[in-house]
Chains A and B, each alone.
Chain A
């Protein structure tokens, strides 16, 4: 193997990421090649220097105390919850109907609250993005530019519709986060109205519970559905017919 080919393996070698066989072969090469050995030496020096320089900041004791208190309060809450569960077991025969009714209403309430929270968060993302000086990170009307930009930035892929013959135009895209999950945020325009399209992997339980269809979120119109394990949200202040039409285009492309 030529030195150029070994060079790309030097970092993984020092990071302990080569297979034992590859590591041994590279080790043999390093004993024979002074240039590669010098390159390794330089990398080791930089690694050491970054390790040394990177351990720089030490938190205040106050912060530790505050976090320990927060965690202790959380633990007390959990312990109380466990005690109550045991107590409820003893009363199951008498309370079963009451508990079932309570759980049903609580679950409906929780789902509604979760749904509301997701839509509020998306509406916030939509408004914050449009208000930003740089609303999109990839600026392009071409879906063949926007789609590849997401490669490596989000852990899934998706298809975008052809817009010729429609009034919609693509403005660009950026990475957005919902419930700690990275996803695609695309911005479309129709008659000076911006519409946000969010695409996330549907692994969050709260997202799975969302019914498909229309919704109204903080005075925006919205559509949501699941396709190929991805959850799509289309949200904006455009007419609901426009939101619906863009949703249809996206569904057909996916």
Chain B
């Protein structure tokens, strides 16, 4: 996590933004599921961020700021508007208790392609929060800043996203075992 305390003009925008290029592209591609849309989205993100860099508040998280710009641009795009999904009421303090038996043996059988397909099939809010947490290794605070949601909601949404992924994997593994 890179948080800088100096005035933004003291640090070059390129120095901060270019190292994020590959990660931003990966995230954009996961969101859009389309190569050229992802390229447009990353371009748009850099242009908007460069334009808004003078208004970037020192002391806040630059990476979360960049991801927020990318995600908001995606949500305003044609594909993003179509993917708007209504999640059930998210209780920030009240996480559902999990009682299911661990399925480590089952999960072990999931291969990389199977996990990728399961991730693709998740609703955008679940897919993006899993990617930010597991792939980008963002803290809950950083995810909250990126998605503009409180930390409590980050926790409950992550919990549900992981449950949804586990269910999707289980379905795929069992389907494969049945030869579907």
A contact set with B: CB distance below 8 Å: 4, 7-8, 11-12, 15-17, 35, 38-39, 41-43, 45-47, 49-60, 63-64, 66-68, 70-72, 74-75, 128, 132, 134, 137-138, 148-149, 151-155, 174, 177, 180, 182, 205
Contact = CB atoms under 8 A, between A and B. Distances in A.
Given A59-B42, A67-B43, A45 B108 contact: yes
A69 to B, nearest CB: 11
B79 interface: no
Contacts of A51: 134-135
Contacts of A45: 104, 107-108
A63 B43 contact: yes
Tell me the interface secondary structure of chain B in the complex: helix
Given A70-B47, A180-B72, 10 more contacts: A12-B140, A15-B139, A41-B102, A42-B104, A42-B107, A45-B107, A53-B116, A58-B22, A71-B18, A177-B72
Contacts of B148: 154-155, 182
B61 interface: no
A180 B68 contact: yes
Interface residues of B, number: 65
6 contacts: A39-B98, A50-B130, A52-B115, A54-B135, A55-B135, A177-B72
A7 B97 contact: yes
A75 B14 contact: yes
B162 interface: yes
A57 B38 contact: yes
B149 A155 contact: yes
Given A59-B22, A71-B17, A152-B150, A52 B112 contact: yes
Contact of A50 (B42, B69, B135): B135
A7 B18 contact: no
Contacts of B116: 53, 56
B31 to A, nearest CB: 11
B86 A137 contact: yes
A53 B52 CA distance: 33
Contacts of A68: 14, 18
B110 interface: yes
A134 B81 CA distance: 10
Tell me the interface secondary structure of chain A in the complex: helix
Contacts of A35: 102
Shortest 6 CB-CB contacts between residues of A and residues of B: A54-B135, A53-B115, A59-B25, A57-B29, A38-B102, A42-B104
Nearest to B116: A53
B103 A42 contact: yes
B104 A38 contact: yes
A11 B155 CA distance: 9
Interface of B: 12-14, 17-18, 21-22, 25-26, 29-30, 38-39, 42-43, 46-48, 50, 52, 55, 68-69, 72, 75-76, 81, 84, 86, 89-90, 92, 95, 97-99, 102-104, 107-108, 110, 112-113, 115-116, 119, 130-131, 133-135, 139-140, 148-150, 153, 155, 158-159, 162, 165-166, 169
Nearest to B55: A205
B162 A46 contact: yes
B50 A70 contact: yes
Q: Count chain B CB atoms within 10 A of each CB in A67, A72, A177 and give the residue with the most.
A: A67
Contacts of A67: 18, 21, 42-43, 46
A154 B147 CA distance: 9
A51 B107 CA distance: 14
A253 B13 CA distance: 44
Nearest to B131: A54
Nearest to A36: B102
B112 A63 contact: no
Contacts of A154: 148
A128 B77 CA distance: 12
B97 to A, nearest CB: 5
A75 B134 CA distance: 34
Nearest to B90: A152
